[in-house]
Amino acid sequence: MTTTDELVDSIAGMALFADLTTPQLEAVAHRFEERLFPEGERILRQGLSGSGFYVIVEGAASVVVDGTPRATLIRGDFFGEVSILLGESPVADVVALRALRCLVLPGSDVELFLLDHPKVMFRILQAQARRLRNANRWRS
Amino acid sequence: MAQLTSSGAATADRPFPPGAYPVVVVGSGPGGLQLSYALDRLGVRHAVISADDAPGGMFRRWPFFQRLLSWTKPFAPAEHGTRRYERYDWNSLVADEPQHRALAPRFMDGTSYFPSRAEMEQNLVEFATATGIRVRYGCRWTATRAQEDGHGNRFVLETTDGEYRCATAVFAVGIAEPFIPSTPGFEHVGQYGDTRPAETYAGRRVFIVGKQVSAFELASGLLPWARQLVLASPSPVKLSVNTRSLVGVRARYVQPYEDYVLGGGVSLLDAAIDGIERLPTGSLVVRARRTDSGRDVVLEVDDIISATGFVAPLLDLPALGVVTQGHSGVPAQTPFWESQTVPGIRFAGTLTQGSVGLRKHGLPANSGAVHGARYNALVLARHLATALGIEPPAGQVLSPDALLDRLVGELQESPELWHQKAYLAWVATVDPGGGFRDEGIQPLAHVLDAGGPDAVILTLEADGSGAIYPVVYVRQGGSVQERTLQPDPFLDFGGPEHRTELAGAIAAVAPGVVV
């Protein structure tokens, strides 16, 4: 178990939460749920409804599309937001490469959370813009 | 003449003396009792030990205001003793024998459909007595060692009566130890379990740390007495009627919230507490920062009660390598309730909520409550029996048409699917000899991820909108397709529309089923 203080210290160093004050970080630590996944466990399941928004606190995960690994996610990375924002099922599996500790927010809570924390929304937009730029570079 | 231990339990004829057992179960609350019952019926040799003197676990003491949150409906649209009735009875343990089923309503006096604490305790004592569950009471688990003995035993449980060796240890020790934050000055704060009789708070200013169920339970009880009530925690309050699930403050305790929104004097603060000081006058000062606005708050009050939740009394299990998660320090578990990090250490009862499952749409299973954990225990017992070489009888083989009838039957009758939505599933695999083999109830996460032959997997699910609907997963060639069926306002999934939908959903593996 991670104490709230330890969790706050841990997420304070992440780009996603870099703009939040300490009380806001404490609220994040309370509002998100901590989940652990052993190596090999699926966190997101391609094609299945009702997933959440995940932020990796510790460990690494693989993004797998139709059985093919496409990317590796590490501490500070997040996933699950695309299917929540679009109201669709995930288009990839996310599988723990080694023991993974995440913060999780249910999909239904994401909109309200982002509206309450526009700076976090801005950071997510920045990350998505980077992903889009990199995807375009691959194509060109 | 019976000897007495330090805790008062009679030692004469006490079962399960220290020694080696394939399975040792720790705890005599509903989780330990249900698991022991199921292991007995499957013929799995095991010992049950408990620090208490009698069955009941936390229900021997709590809830503080002596009334449960889980209902049992004495009058329901199903006969007592049927599987269907278990949908309406959240508090009885489940049994094979008709006379041992639906015990909870027998003890209820009709004043509420939430049993009193005492009625719940009677219900559990009766189940343990009538079904012949044996427990070594007054035997406290004190420490754990990982130690191979060359006979398959991996663990040594040290107890006040001596050492127990086992291959599998199942801990059903609840989550009833108060969580105490490290906030400076918290030594001035009373704990939930130490709350005084409500009338002693008459005319006082009471600050409750926490905004979850236990905080609102206390606030509800103190509404007629306290001069001022303030409830504070960093995140906003959640109400079960808004989440449309068991997440959040239950409807029974919403009165302080209504008082707050109508300006009656109750205050709900989204705030992180920086410190607490005692003044020479005896009153207390709380310093906090609001998490919504960032503003400082300083309050002078007469009493502070901590309702910051509970943690699991795991003793030295974390030192043994058992990792935990969340504010309650619940062990992180596999779909069959085994520690993710220490094989052979398993859990029963409310601790099974550490096997989270898919948590679709953010809605948890009901493993934290009796009406969910009791089915986890049945599945765990079968899993342990199989691991020990005691194969339960193979399931019946169904024709495709019979499969459709069975799917409808499970949706109408199955308490496992109703209470453990998107968590426990009914499974039928395509049988090499033709037809579909009934594989019984299994954890959904296991079925989806473990692979296997082509199969039909059935659940009931909810998405937080208030609707409850069937979901069929069809595994074919190793990949799984999900098909969500329509909800029904009367929760009746046996009509022609649902039969047609079900037939369509399974058509890939069961074509041409006659609706």
pLDDT band, very low/low/confident/very high, at A72 (cuts 50, 70, 90): very high
Residues B58 and B158 placed together within one structural domain of the fold: yes
Residues B374 and B418 placed together within one structural domain of the fold: no
Q: Is residue A35 part of a domain?
A: yes
Taking CA–CA distances from B325, the nearest residue in chain A reads: A1
Q: Do A35 and B356 touch (CB under 8 A)?
A: yes
Q: Which of B97, B100, B105 is nearest to B78 (CA)?
A: B105
Separation in Å, CA of A134 to nearest CA in chain B:
30
Positions of chain B with pLDDT lower than 70, given as ranges: 1-12
Residue where a domain stops, chosen among B387, B417, B452? B387
Residues B451 and B425 placed together within one structural domain of the fold: yes
Secondary structure (DSSP) of B242-278: HHTSSSSB-GGG-HHHHHHHTTSS-EEEEEEEEEEEE
B275 in contact with A at a CB cutoff of 8 Å?
no
Residues B44 and B66 placed together within one structural domain of the fold: yes
A48 in contact with B at a CB cutoff of 8 Å?
yes
B119 in contact with A at a CB cutoff of 8 Å?
no
Residue A2 above 70 pLDDT? no
Q: How many domains does chain B have?
A: 3
Residues B304 and B317 placed together within one structural domain of the fold: no
Return the pLDDT at B193: 86
CB B25 within 8 A of CB B32: yes
Return the pLDDT at A3: 74
Helix (H, G, I), strand (E, B) or coil at B470: strand
Q: Do A27 and B362 touch (CB under 8 A)?
A: no
Q: What order of strands is seen across the sheet that includes strand B267-278? A: B190-191, B303-306, B205-209, B228-233, B267-278, B284-290, B296-301
Q: Is residue B512 part of a domain?
A: no
Q: Is residue A138 part of a domain?
A: no
CA distance A54 to A76: 10
CB B171 within 8 A of CB B348: yes
A115 in contact with B at a CB cutoff of 8 Å?
no
| B33 against A134, higher pLDDT | B33
Dihedral angle, C-alpha A124, A127, A131, A137, nearest 10 °: 140
Residues B65 and B167 placed together within one structural domain of the fold: yes
CA distances to A114, B9, B13, B149, B204 from B2, rounded to whole Å, are 65, 9, 8, 33, 49
Residues B255 and B351 placed together within one structural domain of the fold: no
Taking CA–CA distances from A21, the nearest residue in chain B reads: B294
Return the pLDDT at A106: 93
Q: Is residue B4 part of a domain?
A: no
Segment 396-435 of chain B within 8 Å of chain A by CB: 422
Burial B121-139 (b: 16+ CB within 10 A, else e): bbbbbbbbeebebebbbbb
Residue where a domain stops, chosen among B369, B387, B405? B387
Encoded tokens for A98: 């080694």
| Dihedrals phi, psi of B364, to nearest 5 degrees | -80, 160
Q: Is residue A36 part of a domain?
A: yes
Residues B342 and B407 placed together within one structural domain of the fold: no
Residues B222 and B87 placed together within one structural domain of the fold: no
Separation in Å, CA of A36 to nearest CA in chain B:
6
The CATH number of the domain holding residue B80 is 3.50.50.60
CA distance B104 to B154: 38
Residues B171 and B37 placed together within one structural domain of the fold: yes
Residues of A in contact with B422 (CB under 8 A): 50
Residues spanned by the domain of B481: 397-505
Residues B316 and B265 placed together within one structural domain of the fold: no
Return the pLDDT at B4: 43
pLDDT band, very low/low/confident/very high, at A138 (cuts 50, 70, 90): low
Q: Could you report the predicted ipTM of this complex, rounded to two decimals?
A: 0.92
Cross-strand pairs, B157: B144, B164
Q: Is residue B14 part of a domain?
A: no
CA distances to A84, A137, B150 from A134, rounded to whole Å, are 22, 5, 56
Q: Which of A107, A70, A122 is nearest to A91 (CA)?
A: A70
Residues B327 and B439 placed together within one structural domain of the fold: no
Residues of B in contact with A5 (CB under 8 A): 182
Residue where a domain stops, chosen among B355, B387, B419? B387
Cβ-Cβ contacts under 8 Å for B250 (sequence gap 6 or more): B69, B213, B216, B240
Residues spanned by the domain of A124: 4-109+116-133
Secondary structure (DSSP) of B176-237: -EEP----TTGGGSEEGGGPPPGGGGTT-EEEEE--SHHHHHHHHHHTTT-SEEEEEESS--
pLDDT tens track for A81-117: 999 999 999 999 999 999 999 999 999 899 999 999 9
The CATH number of the domain holding residue A38 is 2.60.120.10
Q: Is residue B260 part of a domain?
A: yes
Taking CA–CA distances from B332, the nearest residue in chain A reads: A36
Residues of A in contact with B294 (CB under 8 A): 21, 23-24
What average pLDDT does the segment A57-70 reach? 95
Residues of B in contact with A42 (CB under 8 A): 448-449
Q: How many domains does chain A have?
A: 1
B238 in contact with A at a CB cutoff of 8 Å?
no
Return the pLDDT at A139: 67
CB B406 within 8 A of CB B441: no
Q: Is residue A139 part of a domain?
A: no
CA distance B480 to B471: 12
Q: Do B480 and A34 touch (CB under 8 A)?
A: no
Residue A1 above 80 pLDDT? no
